[in-house]
Structure 1
Amino acid sequence: MSTSLKLAADDDTNPPGRRPARLTRAEKAEATRQRLFDAAVQTVGESGYAAASIAAITARAKVAQGTFYNYFESRQDLLDQLLPSISRRLHALVRQRVLEAPDDAIEREKARLSGFFEFLEKEPHLFKILSEGTVQAPRGFRMHLEMQSASYRRALEYERLRGNLLIDDPVEMDMLTQMLISTREYLSGRFCFEDGQYVRPSAGVVETYVKLLQGKIFK
């Protein structure tokens, strides 16, 4: 065999007939944990927190009940992790849409709302997990609110530093943050779901939201 052919053979990481590399113990453990987590998201999203027993979650994940405690301290520990995890994915998608938007304050805010609707379309379970979270997973719900508030507050500070806001007072900035977050979540509940199923909101929802931001509602 020539040197070049020998090197090519040595570099072939997936030759025909070779079995895929086995997962390490750590990779198997993470895969099991993720199955449990995904099963909890699906169960809560479909039937609510009350239906998310350890038995239901492990059955859906095809994992023995005793294995559950290798990954989570309790049922409540798992449920409290749902919203923060979803919150991180939401932040990543919205941030990407904002980066893709034109360099304009209103366009960035449109991207935040549109990105939120897009995320709900991909992960509709968020709505039920969020709506019941205040009672069923208060710790996770608080973490979610803190994460979303901090993210939105940073976005508004970015606009303030560039002279794109008419308010400058830190207290008003905090109140505005909560108003915008609340508006986003209310609009999703009103226009993104019918009979428990996600529906894409009309473009008019975002456009009317923009009119509100621009002060084009009252004469």
Structure 2
Amino acid sequence: MATRAQSGESAASISKKPRTARGRATMRKLLDAAAKEFGEHGFHAASISGITRRAGTALGSFYTYFDSKEAIFSALVRDMSRAVAEAAAAAMPDGISGIERERDVTSAFLSFAREHKEIYRIIDEAEFVDPANYRAHYENAAGRIAARLDQAAHDGDIAPGDNEVRAWALMGMNVFLGMRFGAWDDSRNPAEIAAVIERLLRNGIAPPHRSGT
């Protein structure tokens, strides 16, 4: 499965974009350390010194790429959004479409949530710390899902319908499944949970038709 964007280049402002492999590696360390710091302490209690200590970098290195705690938090939200998109893309091999593709994306997201449990605290706090990127995170994810559903409907792999509504419903389902079976409790097999979702998408929850009724 893909992990968070390896270079981290686009997480910085244009003026502070790293120009060398060493710079990109340093930014990656800072973003990974920030995920741990914010995930453990929350935005307000987290500190720049805590981030640099976790990253094993000098305080000056932080300010080479980020102007403030708010700046690295916003960069981290965008970075995590890209990571979710990469994880979903990696779960969609050629030849898989429609319901099977959504099943595999669900399984991939559950695995991602287990590896990056801090994403729930960070994204939740973004609603108040960085509302623009908070909204973009969900709107971009819903847009990707809707595009998949549009293509699946065009190919005849799912029934036609309002794919914007469907996309938000699928996204909400995956978010809370990841919370319950990823961040809170990772004892169940992601493939088993994804199979339940596949059956839900195929058959709904209405009782089977009974002959003679």
Give CA deviations for 1:33-62 in whole Å, capped at 9, x if unaligned: 222111101111222222322121122223
SS of the aligned residue for 1:192 comes to: helix
Which residue does 1:87 correspond to in 2?
Answer: 81
Query: Aligned residues: percent identity?
Result: 28
Partner of 2:157: 164
| C-alpha distance in structure 1 between counterparts of 2:21 and 2:160, whole Å | 49
Matches within 5 A, 1:127-206: 127-168=120-161, 172-194=162-184, 198-201=186-189, 203-206=191-194
Amino acid at match of 2:146: R
Residue by residue over 1:186-214, the C-alpha shift from the partner in whole angstroms, topping out at 9 and shown as x without a partner, is 111122233xx644456543232222212
Cα deviation per residue 1:126-161 (whole Å; 9 max; x = unaligned)?
222223322233233223213212211211111011
The answer on whether the counterparts of 2:117 and 2:182 sit within 8 Å (CA) in structure 1 is no
Is 2:98–2:149's contact at 8 Å kept on the other side of the alignment? no
The residue that corresponds to 1:97 in the other structure is 91
Partners of 1:83 and 1:92 in 2: how far apart?
14
State the alpha-carbon separation in 2 of the partners of residues 139 and 201 from structure 1.
34
Q: Secondary structure of 2:99's partner?
A: helix
State the partner residue of 1:208. Answer: 196
Distance change (3 Å), C-alpha of 1:216 and 1:32: closer
Residues 182 and 52 (structure 1), Cα distance of their counterparts in 2 relative to 1, 3 Å cut: same
Within the candidate set 62, 68, 74, 1:68 is matched to 62
Task: Report the residue type matching 1:127 in the other structure.
Answer: Y
Give 1:178 shift.
0.6
Asked if structure 2 preserves the Cα contact closer than 8 Å seen for 1:124 and 1:198, the reply is no
In the alignment of these two chains, the number of paired residues is 190
Kindly name which structure, 1 or 2, has the bigger radius of gyration based on alpha carbons. 1
- Correspondence for 1:58 among 52, 61, 72: 52
**Residue type of the alignment partner of 1:114:** S
Q: Could you list the runs of 5+ residues in structure 2 that have no partner in the other structure?
A: 1-18, 208-213
Note the aligned Cα RMSD (angstroms).
2.4
Q: Which runs of 4+ in 1 moved over 3 A?
A: 197-204
CA distance in 2, matches of 1:89, 1:122: 12
Structure 2 equivalent of residue 30 of structure 1: 24
Between 1:200-209 and 1:102-111, the stretch displaced more is: 200-209
Alpha-carbon distance in 2 for matches of 1:110, 1:91 = 15
Structure 1 unaligned residues grouped into runs of 5+: 1-24
Equivalent residue for 1:107, pick from 100, 103, 121: 100
Query: Given that residues 48 and 128 in structure 1 are in contact (C-alpha distance below 8 angstroms), is that contact kept between their aligned partners in structure 2?
Result: yes
Relative contact order: is structure 1 or structure 2 higher (C-alpha 8 Å, sep ≥ 6)? 2
Q: TM-score, normalised by structure 2?
A: 0.77
Residue 73 of structure 1 aligns to a residue whose secondary structure is coil
